Amino acid sequence: MKSILRGAVIAAAAAVVVFLFHGAVPGARQAGSLWAYEEEPVEMVVLMYHSIDSHENRSDRYTITPQALRRDLEYLQKEGYGTVVMADVIGYVMDGTPLPPKPVMLTFDDGFYNNYLNAFPLLQEFEMRAVVSIIGEESDRFSLVDENSEKYASLTWHQIQEMQNSGLVEFQNHSYGLHRMNGGRHGLAKKWGEGKTQYQRSIKADVGKLQDRFHEMFDIRPTTFTYPYGVVTRDGDEVLRELGFQATLDSRGGVFEVTHEESCLWRIPRNNRPAGTCAQEIIEKVMAARLR
Ligand SMILES: [Zn+2]
């Protein structure tokens, strides 16, 4: 608990500093180097969820029940956490827009239909926000068949629109078709013997395709790329920057230290939330490891 309190105090102090600078210095962005030096980073735990399925026998490393998610949200509410999305984090880093005193980020990967069925109503009930990273080809496919399986279906574009319109859910890019276990490329991994040019062209075509889909559908371009399987490559990152991404979400664990340096937005650490634990336990463990 002590570590959580310390995090809260730091976050609150940081918010006050940002507030003061904003009050005192018009266009405080120019003072970036000064306040980056003066100010402690905001420490935030980013939680990573996947499937939210009401059949308890399907709970595993990447699947939890809606009841388990509810308990996480109850804890966060009770402790006064404020949920943020990537737009908030980017706003803080680039423009100094304040974050809530105890920020936390809830992320959901793979764009499961059960996020709409089971997580979205809870977000509405608790008035909490979340980041959902979808796989383009899956949403295209399920939009055509319109098949609502709690176990394996993906979000349709219609459901994505509804969630987005609520203002509670921000959608991000988890690749168009690189999220496959068999056949094709495994995330951003390079194929054996593949040259840099060919590799980058292929990544750009795939990830860019989902950016284009978002643009066609909603006139937006996601700001953040979520690495499928957590596979990260330097040549892949070059392409992501070319495509205009401002941030990437990794799946290695740890505390996200938010500063006013743009580099902190790259490979943001996240912490998987498997069945058999809870948000409290994860947050306390991650914060304690940070202070060790
Ligand atoms: Zn994934």
Query: pLDDT for 209-230, tens place per residue?
Result: 999 999 999 999 999 999 999 9
28 CA distance to ligand 1 middle (Å): 37
- List pLDDT tens digits, range 122-135: 999 999 999 999 99
Which residues, in sequence order, are bridge partners of residue 225?
A: 173, 248
Buried b (16+ CB within 10 A) or exposed e, 201-230: ebbbebbbbbbebbeebeeeebbbbbbbeb
Q: How far is the CA of 27 from the centre of ligand 1 (A)?
A: 39
How far away, in angstroms, is 205 Cα from ligand 1 center? 19
At residue 18, does pLDDT exceed 80? no
Q: How far is the centre of ligand 1, averaged over its atoms, from the C-alpha of 228 (Å)?
A: 5
Q: What pLDDT score was predicted for residue 194?
A: 92
Collapsed DSSP state (helix, strand, coil) of residue 91: helix
Q: Label residue 184 by pLDDT band (50, 70, 90).
A: confident
Per DSSP, the three-state class of 269 is coil
How far is the C-alpha of 209 from the C-alpha of 200, rounded, in Å? 14
Distance between CA atoms of 116 and 127, rounded to whole angstroms? 15
CA of 53 to the centre of ligand 1 (A): 16
Which residues on adjacent β-strands are paired with residue 109?
133
**What pLDDT is attached to residue 29?**
43
Cα(174) to ligand 1 centroid in Å equals 7
**Residue 10: per-residue pLDDT:** 52
Domains and CATH numbers, the chain: 2-291 (3.20.20.370)
In which band, very low, low, confident or very high, does the pLDDT at 59 lie, cut at 50, 70 and 90? Answer: very high
Q: What pLDDT is recorded for position 20?
A: 43
What is the distance in A from the centroid of ligand 1 to the CA of 109?
5
The structure tokens listed for 270 are: 């996240």
Q: Which helix (H) or strand (E) holds 16?
A: helix 2-24
Q: How high is the pLDDT of residue 129? A: 98
DSSP 139-161: HHHHHHH----TTT-B--HHHHH
pLDDT at 242: 98
pLDDT of residue 253: 96
Q: How far is the CA of 167 from the centre of ligand 1 (A)?
A: 23
Query: Is the predicted pLDDT of residue 110 greater than 80, yes or no?
Result: yes
Q: Tell me how far apart the alpha carbons of residues 27 and 120 are, in angstroms, rounded to a whole number.
A: 37
* Rounded Cα–Cα distance for residues 23 and 21 (Å): 5
Task: Kindly report the length of the chain.
Answer: 292
What's the mean pLDDT when you consider all of the chain?
90
Q: Give percent of the chain above pLDDT 70.
A: 86
**HSE-CB for 40 with a 13 A CA cutoff:** 14
Q: Report pLDDT digits (tens) over 231-272.
A: 999 999 999 999 999 999 999 999 999 999 999 999 999 999
Q: What is the pLDDT of residue 24?
A: 38
Instruction: Give the distance (Å) from ligand 1 centre to CA of residue 181.
Output: 11
Q: What pLDDT score was predicted for residue 185?
A: 87
Question: Which is higher by pLDDT, 182 or 68?
Answer: 68
> What is the CB neighbour count within 10 angstroms for residue 139?
24
* Residue whose pair of structure tokens reads 């990152």 in the numeric block: 237
SS3 label, residue 273: coil
Question: Tell me: the pLDDT tens digits for 21-40?
Answer: 443 333 344 444 445 456 79
The whole-number pLDDT of residue 26 equals 38
